[in-house]
Structure 1
Amino acid sequence: MSESIETRLAALTTEEKADLVAGEAIWTTKSFPVAGIPAIGVTDGPNGARGGGLLGTGTATACIPAGAVLGATWDPELVERLGGLLGDEARAKGCRVLLAPTINLHRNPLGGRNFECYSEDPILSGLVAASFIRGVQSRGVATTPKHFAANDSEFERNTIDSQVDERTLRELYLVPFEYAVAEGGTWGVMSAYNRLNGIFCSENEWLLTQVLRDEWGFDGFVVSDWFAARSTAGSARAGLSLEMPGPGQWYNRGPIGEALAAGEMDEGHLDRIAGDVLRMLERTGALDGDEDCQPGQERELDRPEDRALVRQAAAAGTVLVANNGVLPLNPAMAGSLAVIGPNARKAQIMGGGSATVQGYRNVSLMEALGDEYGHLDVRYAQGCDIERSLVALSAPMLKGKLRLEYFNGHDWAGPVVHTKESASAEMVFFGEPGPGVNPEEFSVRASGVLVAEATGEHTLGLVQLGRCRILLDGETVLDATEGDYDQGDDFFGMGSELISAEVQLTAGRETPIVIEYSNRDSFMLCGVRVGLKSQVDRDLIAEAEAAAAAADVAVVVVGTNADWETEGRDRDSFDLPGDQPELIRRVAAANPNTVVVVNTGGACNLDWADQVAGVLVAGFGGQEMGHAVADVLFGQADPGGRMAMTVPARYEHNPAYLNYPGENGVVRYGEGLYIGHRWFDARAIEPAVPFGHGLSYATFEWSAPRVTGGGDAEMADPVIVEVDVVNNSDRAGSDVVQVYVEPPPSLLHRPVRELKGFAKVHLAPGERTTARIVLTRRAFAYYDPGDQTPQGLDSMSPIPAGESHKRTEPGWYVDPGSYTIWTARSSANLVHPAKVQLDELTI
């Protein structure tokens, strides 16, 4: 502990230290002006610094690609630059802590937050996470890699007991966090909601002290996930530094004082966690009197260079899965283009839940084509619906933006105390709605213009946490300000059931709409979502077929939305929602030049892929996604992505199938070490798309690898793998040299081979470079928890024990033998082998 921290700590009373380790409000910590300790702001999240809003509300900010797209870039340098962008945005939102990155693993394709997480692979996740952290913290903003640990699905996420054996934890689920500490130097970590082997993560001493601090050398702060703290003394002893949000339920002078008096914890435990909070304040510059980053002082940046970077990243994470030569399209083509699909005109740029931000922009493919390829005859067809539940009203049915006027009181009366605009008819409030607005009692009037696309009956609906009514043309058409309504599953299960009314609308007619909402009868979280759905009978697939048949090329943009992929709920199905698989097949039959763009956050069923001319996996690509997809389609950018997860041919092939999602409050990680590509290799199952796969428009030639190191060298002496790469095409492009290690027969079972390093190269036509991958001894090691059979138990058996080949000391071990190092283009496309001989080593 530094001298300045010790001095400030000594100046605080026990009661003040107890208050310091609990938040003040939803997004702020406590201040102690006499001691020179200010309050600071914290903000979500992994793809954008939202500030004081929630679920996409609040000040507009940069929306970078979601985590799964960042993982698919395989480009730590690029991700570090994006981290710097989010560090700047966090400070612009008055915050010194960014609640990111999300680095749990893709254990199952249906995980509701897979889109937030980088990969199924711990090494890829760890290297990307470390670079993200370095970028953010270079701006003086702390990161909190989350959720520590084994928080890999949303099923019963607040209470589920993740039962994971220690070897699997050490070799898979803890590895990204270890990289975050050792390589990223993270200043914070966020503990998870779930239990780990019976103990809540926020009070798990083995996890937060023995592993995180004692073994990895972490000296930062551990913050609870919101409302995830479960105890006072147990959490303090384990090393939970900060309970959020405030005011604390388990931490503050009341409960901590009682725990101290009862002898359940001592002053040393309190000093340790209070010191953690002070160290975070020191590292982020909060103790230096910096006035440029104050809670509640939010501003927009929206810099041109940031837009360009986000666009570059979206293209870099777009994976060209298949291409029969139709791509890239000629930018000068003079023909017609059919753009089809529910996500073609309304791109899904991020997932739902706490990662949601109000991006500066949301550019769909249709918008991008109109901006840059106006000479083309572009024809649009929706193709089908994919709504799971009520989708918030937005463009094109909403013309322009809604104007929101805020009032203190529940009756939309008195002076307007705050105004803002919104591109969506979803208003969610968690804390203060805006400057001068009383969070305990307020109302909002949102005014805009509705434009229907079809003449006939439409369903107008709302889901509310509070009270709302809707007026069209000055007439009240839906009033939910009185009466009782059952709860639905929106807004984390706190929202009402769908409340709806039928209205008649005329295509193209501008209809004034007013949404009046008050927070009466709400608790803590409040808001409303208003949507509109046409009931006019149309054969959407037939319309899409006709558009495709009349075009030179058909581009079908399929995917999900924030209803399907979101925090708080896992996905319902491995298949694309709605009639999208049938839409793809029928469009492909109508036009042989059909390209499918997959706009999902996680893996989905691609059993239609062999029927189309090309497949691009774009993921949730952030605010510039439409431009990035257009860039890739027309060859203005190389599809730089490689799959960060294995896509199974059938859902039943996924490794966690028999253990997912859990039952009776327990989820067993019964597949052990064999998730992702490890499982498919071990079981000799051919996936639909292997891990690491991705095509480029350029072609590359690799030399055989040159390997140095090995033998009885010390742990500090790495094995170096070098590969010469040349771009032998007439196009610029990128390639990823992946390195997999295949072990010799070992004392314990091991995966067939595992990714242990990679290098991404960017080459102009004819350019040559050398990819260099460094493998430490950990790349060849496995964790042996040791045989913990009680001493002397074998002697009680009537059967002679014989010679034992078991270890009794847990640790990382390298078995002696010849290891095969593969350079590869994917886990299933091995290019060149090389051998390295290693002696036995304990790390």
Structure 2
Amino acid sequence: MKYGDIIKQMTLEEKASLMSGKDFWQTQDIQRLGIPNIFLADGPHGIRKQTAAADHLGLNPSDPATCFPTAATVANSWNVELGERIGELLGEEAVAQKVNVLLGPGVNMKRNPLCGRNFEYFSEDPYLAGKLSAAYIRGIQSKGVSACVKHFAVNNQEEKRMSVDTIVDERTLREIYLTAFEMAVKEGQTQSVMSSYNMLNGTYTNEHIHLLRDILREEWGFDGVVVTDWGGCNDRVAGLIAGNELEMPTTGGETNREIIAAIQSGKLDEAVLDECVDRLLHLIFTTEAVYEKPYKKEIDKEQHHYEAQKAAEESIVLLKNEGKLLPLGKGTKVAVIGDFAADSRYQGAGSSIVNPAKLEHALGALEQSQLTVVGYEPGFERYGKKNAAKLNQACALAQKGDVVLLFLGLDEVTEAEGLDRQNMSIPDNQIQLLHAVAESNPNIVVVLSCGAAVDMPWIGKVKGLLHGYLSGQAGAPAIVRVLTGEVNPSGKLAETYPLRYEDTPSLRHFPGKEVSVEYREGLYIGYRYYDTADVKVQFPFGFGLSYTSFDYSDIEVQEDGVSFTLTNSGTVYGMEVAQLYVGNDKGEVFRPKKELKGFIKVALQPGESKRVSIPFDDKTFRYFNVVTNKWEVEEGTYQIMIGASSADIKLTGQQFVAGTGAPLPYSREQLPSYYSGKANAVSDIEFEQLLGRKPPVSKWDRSRPLGYNDTIEQCQYARGGFARFAYRLITFAHWFLRKTGKRSTANLITMSVYNMPFRGIARMTGGVINMPMLDGLLMIVNGQFFKGLRHFLKERSSMHKHT
């Protein structure tokens, strides 16, 4: 142990006290031993440090900070160096605000386009997400503070996220859902990891021995700190045994007492606690070291704003440019329409929400450009209400412009932590506006602002489509510079855009509505499914247009990588993302048709050529074998593909690879859907074969009493009439708030009440309600009203006597 001398001086009570927070954001300190507290803050794309009223839902304002583009946006840059630079800037701001641990980046996979938190995640591809997350982490930690990669693991839906059991086979778990975390640990050297709320194959992730000990620590060599998501602790002692050191936020000492009692009874070995304390002390002392010498307490806000703009410029994706309408020439008369033009949609909602130090809007940036703005109309109500007057005024304005710049997208309460989207559409009132404007002026360029895939049945009505994603506080001038050609767009999609939601492979099993969610599609998420099953899409993974053109030639495959020549065959400077895909369709082990195994972004002047190399690495040919329980390589001749997207392969080669000789883990006859790749409708029997066991019943048992891990929603089945009445009140309040336009407040009910497990009431109230008091509440819920009330009041009185 690194800090054995200090640990020997600590009492059992002091050691236990370090294992949970002092308050909402800080760890416990022990002044007599010189152990300071450290501050943890949200910050995947900007620091959210709350120095006043604290919350985990983004309700109360935080100190001003630079709001950089979200992870979903920066992923479209495919630029590892850019990711590292953003990390450095985040690290600088963390130091300036005296934040020790920055809670990000998030690397969960985009399994389904409707996940409400997709705007916070990089990609549907683990390799791309892993490379970018490792870059962010290196940048953040270069400033002396810690990153905290999250949410470990398979947290791919927001509904029931605190209780749902994710059922996934081991190979899919390793190849799809853990690879980005593996890269964050091995390549990024992250100092901390946040465990997720959900269960994984029957066990909560924060107490999952296989996940936290076997894989994270023993296989990957992680020696840092595992932090619970806020209120994410189920069984504190089981979590400690698994190696989940820090529980956040505070529980008012309740779980500390559980740890002490477990050691005194022999249930927990004190050596396990010492090991956890040692790792936490290392995080505390190493991240506090930066503050022991003079440090920069102010940042250059204008410089950071400028760099946020540059990041946005490189992440914007041009999706359609019919007749080369873009870029717009000097003096082009533009009619600016859309509420998002005057009031930018630039970030998501929830725990990642940043109070921007400065904020620019597209309308202001357009008025300062060389374009001629003939007028502005909002055109629609931001939150979906229909307004005929606004629509008509927008159509009248559209007639005055050479081009209509139509700013559309999703609003802040549609993409939010804690709830999933209901569909892939942008609001109807925006689509009606688009169709109406098209009758007035066919030269429409849509500027889209949202953090995830949307369907586009309307795309035939527009000539240009520029996707800004959620581009941060400086995204507006970045978009204008791309529209005018001052910047040549170089972003490429880090996720597939299906033609319609019904084409999504996880359609039948998203989200898990009750007990569990089954990942029946296995490896086949995103382009792995669409390309293998030959399903047409709106825009493929890796797609993005440019104002110039690029030629690929002269591929050469060597044992350690592939090289080729890339030429800018157009007339303007540009950057191209070349992508390496690998496949083996002759193998005996099922796998997708192609998988991303490398990429590089290359800048070229007009007419310039460069010889480009992409190396192979330890992930290029591997697969996880469930028989040997380790990574193996299947012998065979692999297709080496260089593409401008997953669907636009420019060059192909081959490479023979010697295998590791592992036994074949599957039977083609028993797993036909997985061998064909058509894994969107896997049968019960076939999924059971893949899992190697029978999955649990996915429905609630409505006959049993409700317990700690049941949700408030389940009160609809409660034995107690009071609980059923309370449930009806909650659902009525939610309906009424949505009906009266207060969708943010309605979302809050979904996030913090409806889907909350009962134990969350104790875990998130900082000790105001403890577990014995919760027992009383559960008695009331289960039909013992007076007995439960007496128990609750007795335990509350007892708690107050001891505090």
Q: Do the two structures share a fold, i.e. TM-score over 0.5? A: yes
Change (3 A) 1:272 1:221: same
Select which of 227, 230, 250 maps to 1:226.
230
Select which of 537, 557, 564 maps to 1:723.
564
* Paired position in structure 2 for 1:369: 366
Q: Verify the 8 A CA contact 1:645 1:676 in the aligned structure 2.
A: yes
Select which of 785, 810, 824 maps to 2:626.
785
Compare 658-667 and 576-585 and name the one that shifted more: 576-585
Quote the offset at 1:547 in angstroms: 1.2
* Paired position in structure 1 for 2:797: none
Structure 1 residue 625 corresponds to structure 2 residue 475 = yes
Structure 1 residue 563 corresponds to structure 2 residue 563 = no
* Paired position in structure 2 for 1:814: 633
Structure 1 residue 282 corresponds to structure 2 residue 123 = no
For 1:631-689, what per-residue CA distance to the aligned partner results, in whole angstroms no more than 9, with x for missing partners? 11001112121001100001100111011111322111111100000110121111001
* Paired position in structure 2 for 1:267: 270
Quote the offset at 1:287 in angstroms: 8.7
Quote the offset at 1:291 in angstroms: 7.2
Matching of residues 298-377 of structure 1 within 5 Å: 301-333=299-331, 335-373=332-370, 376-377=372-373
In 1, distance between residues paired with 2:608 and 2:29?
A: 56
The alignment's TM-score, normalised by the length of structure 1, stands at: 0.76
Q: Verify the 8 A CA contact 1:314 1:621 in the aligned structure 2.
A: yes
In 2, distance between residues paired with 1:262 and 1:327?
A: 75
Structure 1 residue 578 corresponds to structure 2 residue 419 = no
* Paired position in structure 1 for 2:380: 384
SS of residue paired to 2:639: strand
* Paired position in structure 2 for 1:244: 248
Quote the offset at 1:708 in angstroms: 1.1
Matching of residues 435-474 of structure 1 within 5 Å: none
SS of residue paired to 1:832: strand
Structure with the higher helix share, 1 or 2: 2
Change (3 A) 1:88 1:251: farther
Q: Verify the 8 A CA contact 1:281 1:287 in the aligned structure 2.
A: no
Quote the offset at 1:546 in angstroms: 1.6
* Paired position in structure 2 for 1:686: 536
Q: Verify the 8 A CA contact 1:101 1:145 in the aligned structure 2.
A: yes
SS of residue paired to 2:620: helix
In 1, distance between residues paired with 2:467 and 2:304?
A: 23
Letter in 2 for 1:653: D
In 1, distance between residues paired with 2:562 and 2:414?
A: 42
In 2, distance between residues paired with 1:122 and 1:326?
A: 34
Structure 1 residue 695 corresponds to structure 2 residue 545 = yes
Change (3 A) 1:327 1:179: farther
Q: Verify the 8 A CA contact 2:151 2:194 in the aligned structure 1.
A: yes
For 1:459-483, what per-residue CA distance to the aligned partner results, in whole angstroms no more than 9, with x for missing partners? xxxxxxxxxxxxxxxxxxxxxxxxx
Quote the offset at 1:570 in angstroms: 0.7
In 2, distance between residues paired with 1:728 and 1:778?
A: 33
In 2, distance between residues paired with 1:828 and 1:558?
A: 27
* Paired position in structure 2 for 1:707: 557
In 1, distance between residues paired with 2:300 and 2:503?
A: 44
Quote the offset at 1:201 in angstroms: 0.8
In 1, distance between residues paired with 2:479 and 2:373?
A: 18
Structure with the higher strand share, 1 or 2: 1
For 1:323-372, what per-residue CA distance to the aligned partner results, in whole angstroms no more than 9, with x for missing partners? 11444334522x42111112111111100000101001221210211233
Q: Verify the 8 A CA contact 2:589 2:634 in the aligned structure 1.
A: no
Structure 1 residue 541 corresponds to structure 2 residue 391 = yes
Q: Verify the 8 A CA contact 1:51 1:94 in the aligned structure 2.
A: no
Change (3 A) 1:325 1:283: farther
Change (3 A) 1:46 1:75: same
Letter in 1 for 2:95: R
For 1:708-753, what per-residue CA distance to the aligned partner results, in whole angstroms no more than 9, with x for missing partners? 11xxxxxxxxx21122222232211110110100114223211111
* Paired position in structure 1 for 2:599: 758
Letter in 1 for 2:584: P
Compare 666-675 and 14-23 and name the one that shifted more: 14-23
Select which of 35, 38, 52 maps to 2:36.
38
In 1, distance between residues paired with 2:104 and 2:615?
A: 27
Q: Verify the 8 A CA contact 1:149 1:174 in the aligned structure 2.
A: yes
Select which of 77, 99, 104 maps to 2:81.
77
For 1:380-415, what per-residue CA distance to the aligned partner results, in whole angstroms no more than 9, with x for missing partners? 1112123169xxxxxxxxxxxxxxxxxxxxxxxxxx
Select which of 159, 169, 184 maps to 2:188.
184
Select which of 47, 50, 54 maps to 2:48.
50
Letter in 1 for 2:646: S
Q: Verify the 8 A CA contact 1:327 1:633 in the aligned structure 2.
A: no
* Paired position in structure 1 for 2:790: none
Quote the offset at 1:563 in angstroms: 0.3
Select which of 104, 107, 123 maps to 2:108.
104
Quote the offset at 1:842 in angstroms: 6.4
In 2, distance between residues paired with 1:67 and 1:288?
A: 28
Select which of 827, 830, 834 maps to 2:649.
830
SS of residue paired to 2:596: strand
Q: Verify the 8 A CA contact 2:76 2:317 in the aligned structure 1.
A: yes
Q: Verify the 8 A CA contact 2:107 2:180 in the aligned structure 1.
A: yes
In 2, distance between residues paired with 1:327 and 1:8?
A: 68
For 1:603-633, what per-residue CA distance to the aligned partner results, in whole angstroms no more than 9, with x for missing partners? 0011211221111111000000110100110
In 1, distance between residues paired with 2:157 and 2:252?
A: 26
In 1, distance between residues paired with 2:329 and 2:275?
A: 61
Quote the offset at 1:766 in angstroms: 3.0
> What is the aligned length?
656
For 1:19-74, what per-residue CA distance to the aligned partner results, in whole angstroms no more than 9, with x for missing partners? 11211111111111221211111110211111125526121100000110011110
Letter in 2 for 1:210: D
For 1:228-255, what per-residue CA distance to the aligned partner results, in whole angstroms no more than 9, with x for missing partners? 0111220111000101112456642x22
Quote the offset at 1:162 in angstroms: 0.8
In 2, distance between residues paired with 1:388 and 1:194?
A: 32
Q: Which runs of 4+ in 1 moved over 6 A?
A: none
Letter in 1 for 2:380: C
Letter in 1 for 2:34: G
Compare 33-42 and 176-185 and name the one that shifted more: 33-42
Quote the offset at 1:538 in angstroms: 4.3
* Paired position in structure 1 for 2:485: 635
* Paired position in structure 2 for 1:163: 167
Compare 174-183 and 360-369 and name the one that shifted more: 360-369
Structure 1 residue 606 corresponds to structure 2 residue 606 = no
Letter in 2 for 1:328: L
In 1, distance between residues paired with 2:197 and 2:344?
A: 31
* Paired position in structure 2 for 1:732: 573
Q: Verify the 8 A CA contact 1:32 1:38 in the aligned structure 2.
A: yes
Q: Verify the 8 A CA contact 2:567 2:607 in the aligned structure 1.
A: yes
In 2, distance between residues paired with 1:227 and 1:249?
A: 14
SS of residue paired to 1:782: strand
List alignment gaps of at least 5 residues for structure 2.
663-803
Q: Verify the 8 A CA contact 1:83 1:134 in the aligned structure 2.
A: yes
* Paired position in structure 2 for 1:508: none
Quote the offset at 1:810 in angstroms: 2.0
Structure 1 residue 204 corresponds to structure 2 residue 23 = no
Quote the offset at 1:288 in angstroms: 7.4
Compare 766-775 and 822-831 and name the one that shifted more: 766-775
In 1, distance between residues paired with 2:179 and 2:36?
A: 34
In 1, distance between residues paired with 2:641 and 2:647?
A: 11
List alignment gaps of at least 5 residues for structure 1.
294-298, 390-534, 710-718, 787-808
Q: Verify the 8 A CA contact 2:541 2:646 in the aligned structure 1.
A: yes
Quote the offset at 1:110 in angstroms: 0.7
SS of residue paired to 1:688: strand
